[in-house]
Amino acid sequence: MSTPATTGNDRSGLSGPPAGAIRTITLAATDDFDGWRSAARALAIADIAPDRVEWRVDGDVGDLFGETVEPPPVTARSRALTAPRHFIDLARQAACHRDPERFALLYTALWRIQRNPGFASDRADPLMQRIEGLAKAVRRDIHKMRAFVRFREIEDDDGTQRFVAWFEPEHHIVRANARFFVERFANMRWSILTPDLSIHWDGETLSETAGAIRGDAPGGDPIEDVWKSYYASIFNPARVKIGAMMKEMPRKYWKNMPETALIPALVAGAQAREAEMIAEAQQSAAAPGSNRSGAWQALRREAQGCTRCPLHRCASQTVFGEGPVDAALMFVGEQPGDQEDLAGRPFVGPAGQLFDRALIDAGIDRGATYVTNAVKHFKFVARGKRRIHQSPAVGEIDACRWWLDQERALVLPRVTVALGATAARAIFGKAMAIGKSRSRPFALSERAEAWVTVHPSYLLRLPDAEKHDAYRAFVDDLRAAAQRVS
Ligand code: URA
């Protein structure tokens, strides 16, 4: 982003207007965080009070007649000015909000941090609360764009294929989100048109043009059938919670999403999942150019920043699934334990070792399977130096199902094995009695089924006298499920 311009009503002094004058900082764009940062840094060093600064964005009304001067120079001292990393991250997000006061609020906070370094962590302060609120709304909008952009296929004038999507973000998030779409759809040529800004990817270069109107984007074409099929194949009417769905997928996005036309019929109980639809969906995921593993990597990266439930606050990291993205057999555990949390990999601690042994005894190559958890963050209570496992709450399982559903939609396993009650709940969307449901298949669709068995930790906790038989039954379940793949 370009260097911000400053306008002022007095030009005397080292850095333009004197400290008492109002300075107008004009940023290059609505999301010009770098411009804000460099101007704010110089202003804070020059000790310019927040009420002496007016923040504008290039092109704003009222900007036309201002005199442009350089912002206070960046000196060795200004380079030493610091703010906590978490404040900078928060400010970067909040800067994308549509609130016209966002840059002024951020500068006020920065100025106060210079006087009280603890201010950035003061969650009770109304200013920090407001900034947190802005950042949260932006994160949500970013997430919505990732979830609800739907491409339609068109042919360019030169006969080449391009995918075009129309999206109306609430905030200035399009640039902040561009990298995600580049990574996720690296092999496609695509454009995302939005009212303020349009971005285009030609397979090598990302470019920008001005905003567009809805009519510039195609209104629907055969690719929609694939989306609809895909959606229908992963839609489980038994799991629909209308309130939660409306919250996650507000109606304003429905008009851009072909599959939402299906919702009334699906909600009404239409469970027909045609085999050809699923084949189509599978093809769309595996077709050349679909970049399935790129999509998985982008998903994994996105999950690293997950804040969908409070568990991220205490856990060391998101522990995502691992294994081939086209694995026919998927195992779903409960949540990472202490060792998984540190290693960043599922099933590597004591339960993982027992699981590995059972896989070998069942004749299953773990490397050919996809192993993941229903909940991606470790939940625990600290007791001295120990971190004691806590079972995830239903709300946490439901929040995290966002990731599991996406893993399952990408991998499309023929057989999914739920290890324990939490995994079963995440897969079926309701509580399942393990004793009653284990050792038999449950059809998820014409080509996919789920099995339920015990969790390896359960075997570890059993009295010695019961361990042997329970272990044998567990191995039998794994073997029986794996045999269904072939
Ligand atoms: N238990 C689980 O459910 N998952 C792991 O990754 C480790 C222990």
The pLDDT value recorded for residue 16 is: 56
Interior CA angle at 418 toward 413 and 424, to 5°?
A: 115
335 lines ligand 1 (CB under 6 A): yes
342-372 pLDDT, tens digit per residue, is 889 999 999 999 999 999 999 999 999 999 9
Separation of CA 139 and ligand 1 centre (Å): 28
How many angstroms is it from 25 CA to the middle of ligand 1? 52
Average pLDDT of the residues of the chain:
82
Distances (CA, A) of 110 to 48, 89, 93, 124: 11, 13, 15, 16
Contact yes or no for 177/142 (Cβ under 8 A): yes
Q: Which residues contact 154 (CB under 8 A, 6 or more apart)?
A: 161, 162, 163, 164, 218, 221
Per-residue pLDDT, 299: 87
Report whether residue 373 contacts ligand 1, using a CB cutoff of 6 Å: yes
Residue 460 CA to ligand 1 centre (angstroms) = 13
Cβ 333 under 6 angstroms from ligand 1: yes
Separation CA 372–CA 357 (nearest Å) = 17
Atom of ligand 1 nearest to the CA of 419: 3
Residue 271: what pLDDT? 36
pLDDT in the model for residue 238: 45
The neighbouring-strand residues paired with 330 are 370, 416
User: 3-state SS of the chain: helix, strand, coil percent to 5?
Assistant: 50, 15, 40
pLDDT at 276 over 90: no
pLDDT confidence tier of residue 323, bands split at 50, 70 and 90: very high
Question: Does ligand 1 lie within 6 Å of residue 233's CB atom?
Answer: no
Q: Give the whole-angstrom CA distance, residue 170 versus residue 97.
A: 8
Centre of ligand 1 to C-alpha 351, Å, is 7
Distance 239 CA to ligand 1 centre (A): 24
- For residue 278, what pLDDT is reported? 37
333 Cα nearest atom in ligand 1? 3
Q: Is the CB of 141 under 6 A from ligand 1?
A: no
Q: What is the pTM of this model?
A: 0.50
Evaluate: CB of 352 within 6 angstroms of ligand 1.
yes
Q: Which of 244, 235, 227, 226 is nearest to 264 (CA)?
A: 235
Q: Is the pLDDT assigned to residue 236 strictly greater than 90?
A: no
- pLDDT tens digit sequence for 27-40: 999 999 999 999 99
Q: How confident is the model at residue 76 (pLDDT cuts 50, 70, 90)?
A: low
Helix (H) or strand (E) holding 428: helix 421-428
Q: How many residues does the chain have?
A: 486
pLDDT tens track for 153-186? 787 777 788 888 889 999 999 999 998 888 878 8
Q: Is the CB of 337 under 6 A from ligand 1?
A: yes
Q: Which of 338, 353, 373, 452 to mutate to test the pocket of ligand 1 (most atoms within 8 A of CB)?
A: 373
Helix/strand number for the chain, H first, E second: 19, 15
Tokens 């491409």: give the residue.
Answer: 151
pLDDT at 279 over 60: no
CA 485 to CA 169: how far, in whole Å?
42
- The three-point CA angle 353-465-359 to 5° equals 25
Output the CA 346–ligand 1 centroid distance in Å: 6
Which of 318, 330, 335, 460 is the best mutation target for the ligand 1 pocket, counting ligand atoms within 8 Å of the beta carbon and taking the most? 335
Cβ of residue 336 lying under 6 Å from some atom of ligand 1: yes
What are the φ/ψ torsions at residue 325 (nearest 5 degrees)? -75, -5
Nearest atom within ligand 1 for CA of residue 345:
6
For the chain, percent of residues with pLDDT exceeding 90: 52
Categorize the per-residue pLDDT at 383 as very low, low, confident or very high, splitting at 50, 70 and 90. confident
Ligand 1 and 351: CB distance under 6 A: yes
Tell which one of 347, 359, 376 to mutate to probe ligand 1, the residue whose CB is within 8 A of the most ligand atoms.
347
Q: The tokens of 235 are what?
A: 């839609």
Q: Cβ(71) to ligand 1 under 6 A?
A: no
Residues 6+ positions from 213 with CB-CB distance below 8 Å = 195
CA of 419 to the centre of ligand 1 (A): 9
